[in-house]
Structure 1
Amino acid sequence: MNQDYIKPDSWSIIEEGFDTHRVKSSESIFSIGNGAMGQRANFEEHYSGPTFQGSYIAGVYYPDKTKVGWWKNGYPEYFAKVLNAPNWIGINVSVNGEQLDLFTCKKVDNFKRELNMQEGWLSRSFTATLQNNIQIEVKTKRFLSLDLEELGAIEYHITPINNDAQIQFQPYLDGGITNEDTNWDDKFWDILKVSHENNRAFIETKTMKTFFYVSTFMESKVYLNNKGLFLNPDINSEHNYISFDYNHHVKKGETYSIQKFGGYVADRNYDKTELVSVSKQILDKAITLGFDGLLKKQKEAWANIWERADINITGDVKAQQGIRFNIFQLNQTYLGKDSRLNIGPKGFTGEKYGGSTYWDTEAYCIPFYMATKDEKVARNLLEYRYNHLEKAIENAEKLGFKNGAALYPMVTMNGEECHNEWEITFEEIHRNGAIAFAIFNYYRYTGDYSYIPEKGLEVLIGIARFWQQRASFSTDKNKYVILGVTGPNEYENNVNNNWYTNYIAQWCISYTIENIEKIMLEYPADYIRIIDKLKLDKLEIEQWKTVADNMYFPYSEKHQVYLQQDGFLDKELIAVSSLDKSQRPINQKWSWDRILRSPYIKQADVLQGFYFFEDQFTTESLERHFDFYEPFTVHESSLSPCVHSIQAAKLNRMDQAYQFYLRTSRLDLDDYNHEVHEGLHITSMAGTWMSIVEGFGGMRIKDNKLSFTPKIPKQWEAYSFKINFRNHILKVDIGHKQTHFEILSGSELEILVNNKSILLTTKQLQAV
């Protein structure tokens, strides 16, 4: 049974009614971020019920020592954890000496929480009856500024309803924070100094081991009926905590308010000796602009994002809400301003998966960022991997590879592998292929080849060297095989000849050779520089080519399909539809032993290859493989439904494509996998965008041109999206009878629609 308490709304996520059992889920769903920091939607006031408090700073992490039963050579020494940072949002509230706590209140009425995605703010309102019988009305609003990325702002109003009351606001900073996710309960933060000045407070900290220095800061102002009060607060300062107490007598019906500005300044961007002075400068700007001025700028910044990124759906509010929620959370997580950062699977919404970088970025996120932002943003994501090339070579050396072979990590913060499950760390090597594919995909889409001779070819050569060494020659098959791997389907470990892995290995080698030849002819200076630097010769390239040309691919003549791996047909092939619903999800109900012996597929595996390399297979072949594998797929990875939605749309199975779209777009809103309390599935949200633009819109690059095969679900009246293609902003409106194309900026553009060429100009709206 999926959750259904989120109210359908085109532009907002709305929760009505207070239920203690869904607090942790809502803390995830209503999370806010600005690319530089983020936080779960914890209450500002004290809450004694089950809660998962979390605030996070982009790029600040801790190397939590790996916890394993026994050590293996090459095992990562740590698992990088996104750090739960000092808490700056807290405002304790007491009324006539009793602390406001929604878990212990006699009654909570009219509770409403709203995440306004159009304008980028979170609000909450409720009336509560405390144990002392005082009734109060509370209204709050907060946001993390897109303009001043180290700053957040809170406005908190409280009105006594049935009596006069003595009300205390106690804004605080708390450095005594621990991670929800930790292996050894280590102390992650070292408190250096707690200080205050007027209505400002600062906690200076550094992380243990990684030595990130951070200043957490706050300043508060109080008001009565919107008029500023000048109260001298009582100050409570401890080793890791500081609070200001603002007490005031408030008459029934009057409104007592506090505005709190806070955030983080880290030495990733400033000298560690200047963190407090920078914090003061940011607070100066905040006070000058005021809460309303900052909110106005916030609305303008989000309007600019939506102008390019929005997808508009008419006739289906839940579908509309789903895609906007996904686009909103992606932009809250990563805005492309800093090439040192990447997109963690949970973003700033939780700690599972360590907050690190996975292959999800290259496989799913780059298309979204290429089309909805400037191409420099996607290039930053590619450069992130180039900057980690030396670490990728070190990762491969730890496993016994030589000569500059590069194995990119499954999980990383700084380029080092830090995943602590052996079957993933050592075996899920297909991640290398996604990184190479992203280089190809970037050039295919943007037309910007310059990245490859400047940086990308070095990455491709390191990856090709890895594949050549990782393959071994089978005298029995007279082919090269790749043994002991885990493919995208993580419900099979230590298998031989995963088709997707073998296929992408062959493709990587061929693509690398193709680019070496192109750069030799067209960029001779870069060619000489790279060949000399990497000591690459023709003999080595011939060795790669021998492996690629003689790669083994398991195939079933009986079923006329490529096999997911050598032993797939040895399994008892019972379709998912025959499973009792009480057994789902199997990753929560079955033993690992049972899962590994089953035919059940966590996410697209063979079909992932058909998605990446669609042009190399016929539609008839896709249909055979889809019909064979989808019935065994349990879609228990967030990355699965989007790929299947795109392929179902290509096969004109629109009802199925629509259901997969709903599943990917509302995965967290409806909590399909019953795990949203741990955080959101950020990287798969890019797959929701792909489901519409590539699936229903049929957008592809063909013959170096933008191509569309538009389709529309019967549940929708129409939908539209914009994309940035090679410095042309193109708007596409798709209805049941016609599709309209319009160039909003850029010169004329030739596109393909249903394989027919159309020339678009800026002077006309083209209907097809």
Structure 2
Amino acid sequence: MKQITRIMGIDPWKITANKIEIEQRRLQESLTSIGNGYMGMRGNFAETFSGDHHQGTYVAGVWYPDKTRVGWWKNGYPEYFGKAINALDFAKIRLFIDQKEVDLATAEVENFELSLNMKNGVLTYHYIVAGVRVTAERFFSIATQELAVFKFTFENVDGDLHSVRVESFINANVHNEDSNYAENFWEIYDHGTTENGSYILSQTVPNPFGVDQFTLLARQEYLGDFDITQQIFEDGAVIDTLDEVLPFSETLTLEKRVTVLTSRDYDDLSVMTNASVALTDSLSEVTYDELFNAQTEGWATRWELADVQIEGSDEAQQGIRFNLFQLFSTYYGEDERLNIGPKGLTGEKYGGATYWDTEAYAVPLYLALADTSVTHNLLKYRHHQLPQAQHNARQQGLKGALYPMVTFTGVECHNEWEITFEEIHRNGAIAYAIYNYTNYTGDETYLAHEGLEVLVEIARFWADRVHYSKRKDQYMIHGVTGPNEYENNINNNWYTNTLATWVLKYTSEALSKYPRPELNVSADELEKWQEIITKMYYPQDEELGIFVQHDGFLDKDLTPVAELDPKNLPLNQNWSWDRVLRSPYIKQADVLQGIYFFGNKYSLDEKRKNFDFYEPLTVHESSLSPSIHSILAAELGYDEKAVEMYERTARLDLDNYNNDTKDGLHITSMTGSWLAIVQGFAQMKTWDGQLSFAPFLPKAWKGYAFHINYRGRLLKITVNDSVTIDLLKGTPIDLIIYDHQINLTDQYKCSVS
């Protein structure tokens, strides 16, 4: 059984702790991260904490190119590795009680309690120190995306007279830990004070790659009982000092409001400055309670559609809500220039950039739990970057378009050979998202226009990337890395070959339905695509009845994971990379990923044989892995395995399964907990535009319920001792429930099969 680390309490709507985790502070910071899609922050204390921790504040779309260099032997390599960078630290304060600074790593504090309320995105902590109860409350507004609110309350609890001093910072002297290391990113362009606060206007330092510099303007203002007594600029920070005396049984409040504007939205500095002043002035007329209520109401609207209710397991309930909360704190589709990074706005690993995770894992969730415009914006994000994807293909000497593994702009900015050049299956995921959107919504408008432009260029890439084997009279794809990144530079990855031919077929069919002469797809080109479709090679083993992950895989020592000494796990933290690559162990779903994508193409017998063969070899050391296995296990009737994999994906971060949550949350894989319940336990399928369900109820649960948007309808599905499907909005719809066709007009109820 995998060792878990659980430092936060179990509560259906909250993430709680009653101690400061000195040794696990980084993990605690990750788990209490908040954001609003525009910016985000790890759960750092505002006050000084001199112990080990990871200070992190991030603004969506603001990044910097890594200084990594490579040599001539890697022709075609990206020039840089893009990295999300630490933005200005605007949460920081230094708190002095009776002239002594409070350091939460060393101070003798009592009655500490930390709570992240997922209902409204408000993070609160309080403690007693030196006779004063300190309460800190913060949220990043989803009503005004440029606004972060910090409220501090000081209550005298011991009868003595106390002085309270707060030094409030906007600090530009910050750096990253994951890359660029101690390099400073920000140059101070301007700074100053106002009657009620201060500001810093900063710009990212120049880079040698021609990447645009970002400008960021942060302004802090105050409300409450304190007076500003000093304002200085020191060591790259503006510092406002606020003082007040705290009599016995009295309470003081200090509200710090920070607005953050960036050059992503303003080309002209004077316009940005004027907008910052205007925003601050308009907010000065709004009370804290009004801001708080707007935050609560905004989240309530999101939860009304998105919430998954689970009866019988607070652990499972907390897990799914935590994941949905963090997903929507990262991305809610307002900005088509943005995408979803694997760590979101909670850390620096993976560079904060866009991966294929969005198209493969996030699109299904956002299709069901948000307006279709959200997913449409995700598709437009890739369409906007089609020229850059064509550039990436040319860098490899190939035709068409190669979408990047890692990007901010559409140009590949990943610097690992086996990823940049070989993990080309990501190109198929971009096309699959177009299919998924079209099939789910029933709207083919995007497919017929922007979608086809993307599909044609991806198809041209695959047609050029394959090669013809005269010996076998088949087409093959050599030198790739499949989803299983514990195998590099392999030949004929079944999943990659399957995706390539599917793209060629889907694109050909779309062109037949929606001719686009201006795309210049010739008859000869279509004929070549068809030849590749007909003659593609797929590694299979008839005796085992499986699709072989790649040529040579069956020649490995196929010892199941269960026979490994648990001390070896996770492999990536205990084995050398050489040993990992030579092993049979699978990081995440690979063949099974393809079976999940194209589940209507394979029989239950084929699915069972492949699952039974590959799952025992899978270490699930990718956060993307458990959900796919849970969905397939549920379909196969492996209920216990389905629940086990759900628990792993739902509580991956809360229980620190992979021992790496301290670096930030696994945002894109958080969709997996929802997928495991909806596509797994409830067996929701949408093949060929036909919506169907075949739910089962986990033994330890009393019930579960969720909503979905589907083709203009709002449905609620409730599973307990029976299955109830309610049509809440929209016109009647034909459904399949346990293989029975019904016409849903208002409510349908049946027993659990």
Q: Give the TM-score normalised by structure 2.
A: 0.97
Matching residue within 373, 377, 380 for 1:376: 373
Q: 258, 262, 284: which is aligned to 1:262?
A: 258
Please state if 1:449 is matched with 2:444.
yes
Q: Residue 615 in 1 paired to residue 600 in 2?
A: yes
Residue 658 of structure 1, aligned match among 640, 643, 646: 643
Q: Does 1:238 align with 2:231?
A: no
Question: Residues 161-172 of structure 1: matches in 2 within 5 Å?
Answer: 161-162=157-158, 163-172=160-169
Deviation at 1:659, TM superposition (A): 0.6
Tell me the residue number matched to 2:418.
423
Judged with a 3 Å threshold, the aligned counterparts in structure 2 of structure 1 residues 116 and 607 are, in CA distance, closer, same or farther, namely same
Quote the Cα distance in structure 1 between the aligned partners of 2:27 and 2:688: 46
Match of 1:414 among 383, 406, 409: 409
**Secondary structure, aligned partner of 1:320:** helix
> What is residue 281 of structure 1 aligned with on the other side?
278
Partner deviation per Cα, 1:582-609 (whole Å, 9 max, x = no partner): 1100000000110011000000000000
CA distance in structure 2 between the aligned counterparts of 1:71 and 1:126, rounded to whole angstroms: 57
More divergent stretch after superposition (674-683 vs 155-164): 155-164
Residue identity opposite 1:161 in structure 2: V
Cα pair 1:556 1:562 within 8 Å, conserved: yes
- Choose the corresponding residue for 2:738, options 751, 754, 758: 754
Q: Does structure 1 residue 731 correspond to structure 2 residue 716?
A: yes
**Take 1:630 and 1:322, find their aligned partners in 2: how far apart are those partners?**
23
Cα distance in structure 1, aligned partners of 2:309 and 2:682: 13
Q: 1:169·1:258 contact (CA, 8 Å) conserved in 2?
A: no
- Quote the offset at 1:292 in angstroms: 1.4
Structure 1 residue 741 corresponds to structure 2 residue 725: yes
Q: Give how far 1:714 is off.
A: 0.7
User: TM-score, with normalisation over the residues of structure 1?
Assistant: 0.95
Tell me whether 1:159 sits opposite 2:161 in the alignment. no
Trace 1:217-616 onto structure 2 (pairs within 5 A): 217-223=219-225, 229=226, 231-238=227-234, 240-270=236-266, 271-402=268-399, 405-520=400-515, 527-528=516-517, 532=518, 534-616=519-601
Contact 1:665 1:688 in 2 (8 A): yes
> Residue type of the partner of 1:138?
V
Would you identify which runs of 4 or more consecutive aligned residues in structure 1 move more than 6 Å? Answer: none
2:401 and 2:460 in contact (8 A); partners too: yes
Q: CA deviation at 1:711?
A: 1.0
**Is 1:37 the counterpart of 2:39 in the alignment?**
yes
Shift of 1:706: 1.2
> What is the alpha-carbon distance in structure 1 between the residues aligned to residue 73 and residue 38 of structure 2?
36
Taking a change above 3 Å as real, the CA distance of residues 466 and 607 of structure 1, as seen in their structure-2 partners, is same
Secondary structure of the residue aligned to 2:285 is helix
Q: SS where residue 74 of structure 2 aligns?
A: coil
Structure 2: 5+ residue runs without aligned partners? none
CA–CA distance in structure 2, aligned partners of residues 77 and 136 of structure 1: 54
On the 8 A contact 2:7/2:28 being kept in 1, the answer is no
How far apart, in 1, do the equivalents of 2:565 and 2:23 lie?
Answer: 27
Aligned length: 742
Q: Which residue of 1 aligns with 2:19?
A: 17
The letter of the residue matching 2:547 is Y
- Measure how far apart 1:766 and its partner are: 4.3
Q: Decide whether the 8 Å contact of 1:194 with 1:240 is kept in 2.
A: no
Q: Please point out which of 163, 178, 186 is paired with 2:183.
A: 186
Q: Distance in 2 between matches of 1:22 and 1:122?
A: 18
Instruction: Give the superposition deviation at 1:33.
Output: 0.4
2: distance between equivalents of 1:281 and 1:706? 49
Pick one of 204, 211, 216 that aligns with 2:201: 204
Give the CA deviation at 1:67.
Answer: 4.2
In structure 2, how many angstroms separate the alpha carbons of the residues matched to 1:285 and 1:56? 25
Contact 1:13 1:116 in 2 (8 A): yes
* Structure-2 separation of matches of 1:729 and 1:486: 40
Structural RMSD (CA): 1.3
The alignment partner of 2:81 has SS state of strand
Instruction: Pick closer, same or farther for the CA change 1:70–1:116 going to 2, 3 Å.
Output: farther
Alpha-carbon shift at residue 252 of structure 1 (Å)? 3.3
Aligned-pair identity in percent equals 45
Q: Secondary structure at the match of 1:27?
A: helix
**Residue 281 of structure 1: how far off its partner (Å):** 2.1
Contact 1:94/1:169 (8 A) holds in 2: yes
List per-residue Cα deviations over 1:330-389 (Å, max 9, x = no partner): 100001011100000000000000000000000000001000011111011011111111
What's the counterpart of residue 524 of structure 1?
A: none
The reply to whether residue 637 of structure 1 matches residue 622 of structure 2 is yes
For 2:247, give the aligned amino acid.
Answer: K
The CA distance in 1 between the partners of 2:276 and 2:78, in whole Å, is 36
Residue of structure 1 in register with 2:145 after alignment: 149
Per the TM alignment, residue 239 of structure 1 is displaced from its structure 2 partner at its CA by 6.0
Which residue in the other structure is 1:226 paired with?
Answer: none
Whether contact under 8 Å (1:148, 1:282) holds in the other structure is: no
Q: Please, which of 693, 709, 732 is the counterpart of residue 708 of structure 1?
A: 693
Q: Does the 8 Å CA contact 2:475/2:536 hold for their aligned counterparts?
A: yes
Counterparts of 2:280 and 2:349, CA distance in 1: 32
Match of residue 698 from structure 1: 683
Say if 2:223 and 2:254, in contact at 8 Å, map to a contact too.
yes
How far residue 476 of structure 1 moved from its aligned partner, in angstroms, is 2.2
Which deviates more, 700-709 or 170-179? 700-709
> Is residue 94 of structure 2 the alignment partner of residue 92 of structure 1?
yes
